[in-house]
Structures are given as C-alpha cells and as structure tokens.
Chain A
Amino acid sequence: MKIWGMILGGFPRSRYARYALRDRERGVTPFAEDVEAIDRASAQIIGAQLAAGFPVVVDGMIDWHDIFRPFVDAWRNTTVDGLLRYFDNNFFYRIPVFTGEPDPREYVLPRRILRFKEIADPASLKAVLPGPVSFAYMSKNNSGLSNEELAEKIAYILRDEARKAIDSGASLIQIDEPFLADIDATRDHARLAAELVDKIVEGVEDKSIVSIYFNIPESSVFEELLNTRAKYIMIDVVDAPIRAESLVKNIGFGDHTPVLGAIDSRRIIDDKPSFVENFLKAIESSVDEVVVTTSTWLDLIPFRYALRKVYVLGRIVEELAGRNGYDLYSIWR
C-alpha cells in the first residue's frame, strides 16, 4: 500500500503575521509590506511541510479570516453579516450574505498558486475551496434563489477557480464540505454536494479531494457522497473514533482513495502512532493508497503547536510505513 502525509488546510498565524494583519486593518503600513510579511510567514509554513516530507503542501491561507471570506470579498452581490459559531469550535465566522446571484469580480486561487509554487518546490501546492453546499447552507440567502440554486451558482464559480488553480500549477483541488458532518445534514445535502463537486472537478477528478471534518457524517450521508467522482475522500477520524472506525469498516470508501484525518488538529498533545495504525490496518486490505492528514485545519491551535503537528504527522507516517512495509510516497507524480 502506498502511504503519504498531507496537511489538510489552513494554519494559525505566526506572531508577525498577526501584527502584519493588524497593521493592515489599521492602515499603518503600506500594502506591499503586509504582503511581504504574509509571504515570509507562509514560507515558514511551507518549509515545515517540506521538511516533514510531504509531496503536496498548503500555503497555510493565513490571510483568510475564514474559509468563505476571500470568496465573499471577491464576488459581487455578496457581503458579510455578524458572527456565527463555526461548528463546535470557540471560533466564529462572519456569515456570508447573498443579495443576488454571486458573480466573480476576481479569482482567489490562481494568484496564490503562482505566488507560492516556487517556494513549495519540490513539493506541489494544493488549492483549497469551500464546498458549495457548506457555503450556501451556512450563509444568509437573500438572493431570491433557493439554497440548491445558490449552491449550484457557487459551484460554477468554484469550477472556474479550480481550473485556473490547476492551470497555475496546483496539483490537487480540495473541496471542504464540513456541513455534511453536521447533525442537520441529510442524504439530500450529500447528493447535492456530490453532484456539485463533480461539476467543480470535471476533467480533474483524479486530482480532487472532498473533505468532511469536525464529526463523522451519518452513514446515509456518507454513502451518498461516495457517488462523487472525486478521487480522494477525507474524513475526520479523531473527533468520534468509534463511529469513525465503524464507518470505515462497514461502509468503506468505495472506489475512492481514503484520506484519514487522524492527527488531532484541535488538541495540542502529541498524537500516538498506534491510533493512526489502527485505522490503517482496518483498510489496508481494501485499498492500494492511503493519505494520512490532520483532522481539520490547524488554525484552531497556536502556531507553535501547529508546526509541531506537521512534524508529528511526518514522523508517524514515516514510522508506520517502515514498520508495516508500506510504500512511503514523498514526491508528487
């Protein structure tokens, strides 16, 4: 079995990145200085992942206030409202408000990929997008469209984002649908998500990941999502490990390559190899490739611990590959 490690998503901000963004908000530094500060901090984050031996890295998205905001800011007929708790975290996102059909003024990802791909070399960059179902259902929809219609409109914009990101040099497109793990998520939501993900990744299915975190989805939701053509499916196996194990053993990942969110991104204690190994053993006979990743984005823990988690993930993947004779994969094809 081939195994590799990867960080799922965004990073917390280093002290200097916090200061740079604070100064930007106060308007006390020229824009170029802020960008430089963010680039330095992102380079630090990318470097940590390279050192851990990951074939695909993220830039950390440290200038994103939440997963929706850069897209809301880049589109017409969208704005933000007050704060709402982001799932079960002590973290709040600004509620996107759709006042009409979203219409991109600019694209978010291509610039980022072009900006960071040289820093990421010899690894390759992953582009991360919010899922259209999470986006639509976690927003205020004053657009006059139904939530399904809105999600579809969002998906068309995200499809363009994905294509432009790939054209700019991204190796993987990740679409985050945490809403599907919510207790209110239904099979219909999953069906819609699968349909829309397929639209977004059309033509690049083998370079695409759907990720679900903060909880284990209901079986019916997960089964429906397995209909997507995206190659990789990520689940968070940390938050509810017993239910996760049951899902992995009883339903599995179908034809998809599993991405196991087995490194706890919400706690700072070092993860144990045995926990990850337990999940690997449960799937090793049915898959020829597995990705081990963090249970969610790392931005819910302090910066120093996020860097530590990168190291821990790299070490565990290497250790388990050696111990079990897995083929450790560290260079993107």
Chain B
Amino acid sequence: MAGYEVPRKFPTTVVGSYPKIPPAMDLIKKRRSGDLTEEEFRKLIKEPISEAVKDQIEAGIDIISDGEQSREDMVVYFAERVQGYRPGDWVRIFDNVYFRKPIIVGELRWIREMIVEDWIYATSISMGRPVKGIITGPYTMMEWSFDLKYGDRRELIIELAKIIRKEIDELVARGARYIQVDEPALSTRPWREEAELLKEALDVIFKGLDAKRIVHICYGRLEKIIPYILDYPVDQFDLELKNSNFRLLPYLKEYGYDKELGYGVVDVHSLQIETVEEIKGYIDMLMKMDFIAPEKVYVDPDCGLKRLPRSVAKAKMKNLAEAAKLARREW
C-alpha cells in the first residue's frame, strides 16, 4: 500500500465492527423495507464508513476495517445476499434482544459481491493504510443458521466455504492483502471433530490464496480448541485474550504456537477504557513469556467494537495504538 508503511513490530489493527454511526442503522432498515434500493443504500452508507475509517486513522490504527457499517449482523447480512437462504423469524440473543436467524432452504450459491464495494471505498479513503477484508466464516454461518436443505453438516460447511472463497477471490483481485474469516461459533463447541470440520472448510477458503490469512476466534473455551487448530492453513489467529484475563497465553506457549497472533488487549464488553500503561503491560507480559517475536504480534481489541459507544471505542483504539508505539521502542 503506497504511502503508508505498516510497522514491522506490533502493528495495530481492529477485529472489524465499529459502533453504528448515524444514519447507518436507519439506512439498513430502509434498505430492508424497500424504501432504499441496494444501489441507493451503497451510496448512502459511504458516509458512516467514512466516519468509521476516520476514527481508526485518527486513533492511529495501522490496518483498518470499513467498520462493518453495512452489516446489521454478522450472519444475517451474508444470508440476505447468498442464494438459498430465506429470512428467518426472531430468535432471542439475550434479554428482549433478538436476531432473525436465517434459514437455508435451497442450494447455496454466490450470486453477487457482498463486501467488496465497502472494502474498495474504505481503501480509497484509508490514506494508504491496508484495509482488512472481513467475512463471517463457514462454521459460524452454519451454526447460526437453521438448515432445512442439506441435513449434512460437512456438505453444508463446504458449500459455504466455496461461497466465501469466491467472495475472497473478488477481494484479492481488487488488491486486498489481509483476509480475516470470523469464527466466533467455533469456541462454543471445542471438540476435535468440530475443529476438523472447520479445517476442511478453511482448506477450501485459503488454499493458494495470495494474501495474509487470518482467523478470528473469541469467547469460549479457547484453551480447549487450540490444540486442534494449530495446523490450520492460516498465517494468523486473532484471539480474544483480555476478557479471559490472558489465561490462554500459557497454553499457546505450551503448544509451541508459531503463527502470528492477533493479540486482543482491550475488552469490548467493558466501558472502562484501558490505559496506555495497562495495554503496554499486556504487551510486555506476552514478550516476557518469550515464545513469539514482536514482528508476529498484531495488537488489537478482543473482538468487534460495535457494542461500545463511539467515543469509548475510539479512546480504546487510541490507547492501544499508543501502547504499541511504546512497545516498539522497547522490544
């Protein structure tokens, strides 16, 4: 990426989602109700994307995202754009909050680009910073959808993987160099068979791909799943660590972890803003464990920042970037 050099040590990044910036939610609702066409939506959503990109640049993040301003939800967004899905009914996530769990009713097929346009736009205003191409993974799409068509999880996950690969190919053809597949559902079922199922799908997604291959996993029994995923065909695991009090680190060391690490150092469920000193301390702690080089550590939040107020999200990113700067001088 011309004009911006990603630091060699402790580059900073984000997991992807950012608080919805008005009028993003209104636009999503209007697009769904038919008050806006997809074309009109794409045009108008650029303003929130531009604000999300601006915040990340001002905070000092090196590898940014489009803030996922177009996405109501990490599963529904894609289900609405893949043939074979139909909208689902409301299923509760917590309290009185719901999502419309989509239903697979036909053969799944890629029919159009889903995230490419937002990525292109974010890249055009990123002042040279690389923009991650971020897509929900096949395991999470499968687990968080109802299946009335396939009835065979292996067949289904491979079909989803092919669709994701097609989208990633479109991104890479446009110049994307960082591809992240989000798999939050994996850690909820930390068993070997489940990990092997995803590995097969990731082989489809990443085989021969000319870009950095990242898988994001969060919230669950990560320490139980780690032994089964170390041979995944990826360059980097991006992991939630702060929320679970970094309990995963000794396991990574014990298992001889040798990939890059997306090092989650700020809690995205807490309004408390971690100080620069705290975050620097987390980086120091990792370095003192002496199993990974600074060049392989990407400092980022635990997960997407979407549930935080914008001011808190930005402050967390800013402190994270400051801490990484300090760490670069020391390590």
Is B143 positioned at the interface, with any CB of A under 8 Å from its CB? Answer: yes
In the complex, the answer to whether A25 meets B96 with C-beta atoms within 8 Å is yes
B217 to chain A, nearest CB (A): 13
Of the candidates A18, A89, A90, A301, the one having the most CB atoms from chain B within 10 angstroms of its own CB is A90
Is A299 positioned at the interface, with any CB of B under 8 Å from its CB? Answer: yes
In the complex, the answer to whether B188 meets A302 with C-beta atoms within 8 Å is no
Is B77 positioned at the interface, with any CB of A under 8 Å from its CB? Answer: no
In the complex, the answer to whether A300 meets B188 with C-beta atoms within 8 Å is no
- A91-141 residues with Cβ-Cβ distance < 8 A to B are 91-94
In the complex, the answer to whether B90 meets A302 with C-beta atoms within 8 Å is yes
Chain A, residue nearest B243 (CB): A82
Q: In the bound complex, what is the Cα–Cα distance between A22 and B89 (angstroms)?
A: 17
In the complex, the answer to whether A300 meets B91 with C-beta atoms within 8 Å is yes
Q: In the bound complex, what is the Cα–Cα distance between A89 and B98 (angstroms)?
A: 13
Interface of A is mostly: loop
Is A311 positioned at the interface, with any CB of B under 8 Å from its CB? Answer: no
When distances are taken between beta carbons in the complex, the residues of chain A under 8 Å from B101 are 90, 302
Is A303 positioned at the interface, with any CB of B under 8 Å from its CB? Answer: yes
Is B207 positioned at the interface, with any CB of A under 8 Å from its CB? Answer: no
In the complex, the answer to whether A12 meets B91 with C-beta atoms within 8 Å is yes
In the complex, the answer to whether B95 meets A91 with C-beta atoms within 8 Å is no
Q: Please tell me the size bucket of the interface on B.
A: 20 to 34
Q: Which residue of A83, A93, A183, A304 contacts B89 across the interface (Cβ within 8 Å)?
A: A304
Q: Which residue of B144, B151, B190 contacts A183 across the interface (Cβ within 8 Å)?
A: B190
Is A328 positioned at the interface, with any CB of B under 8 Å from its CB? Answer: no
When distances are taken between beta carbons in the complex, the residues of chain B under 8 Å from A85 are 188, 219-220
Q: Which residue of B91, B95, B99, B147 contacts A301 across the interface (Cβ within 8 Å)?
A: B91
Q: Mark B236-270, 1 if CB is under 8 A from A, else 0.
A: 00000000000000000000000000000000011
- A14-36 residues with Cβ-Cβ distance < 8 A to B are 15, 18, 21-22, 25
Q: In the bound complex, what is the Cα–Cα distance between A301 and B221 (angstroms)?
A: 24
B64 to chain A, nearest CB (A): 27
In the complex, the answer to whether B90 meets A18 with C-beta atoms within 8 Å is yes
When distances are taken between beta carbons in the complex, the residues of chain A under 8 Å from B89 are 302-305
Q: In the bound complex, what is the Cα–Cα distance between A93 and B185 (angstroms)?
A: 16
When distances are taken between beta carbons in the complex, the residues of chain A under 8 Å from B146 are 267-269, 301
Given contacts A18-B96, A304-B89, contact A269 B151 (CB under 8 A): yes
Is A13 positioned at the interface, with any CB of B under 8 Å from its CB? Answer: yes
Q: In the bound complex, what is the Cα–Cα distance between A21 and B101 (angstroms)?
A: 20
In the complex, the answer to whether B148 meets A13 with C-beta atoms within 8 Å is no
Of the candidates B147, B151, B189, B220, the one having the most CB atoms from chain A within 10 angstroms of its own CB is B189
When distances are taken between beta carbons in the complex, the residues of chain A under 8 Å from B220 are 85
Q: Mark A241-279, 1 if CB is under 8 A from B, else 0.
A: 000000000000000000000000001110000000000
A275 to chain B, nearest CB (A): 13
- B69-122 residues with Cβ-Cβ distance < 8 A to A are 88-96, 98-99, 101, 103
Q: Which residue of A13, A83, A90 contacts B144 across the interface (Cβ within 8 Å)?
A: A90
Is B224 positioned at the interface, with any CB of A under 8 Å from its CB? Answer: yes
Pairs of residues from A and B, 10 with the lowest C-beta to C-beta distance, nearest first: A302-B89, A88-B188, A92-B94, A268-B146, A21-B96, A88-B189, A65-B95, A90-B144, A83-B94, A82-B269
7 other contacts beyond A12-B90, A90-B101, A305-B89, with CB at 8 A cut-off? A82-B270, A85-B220, A92-B94, A267-B147, A268-B103, A269-B148, A303-B89
Give 14 pairs: A residue, B residue, CB < 8 Å, sorted on A. A18-B96, A66-B94, A82-B270, A83-B269, A85-B188, A88-B188, A88-B189, A90-B91, A91-B94, A92-B94, A268-B146, A269-B151, A302-B90, A302-B101
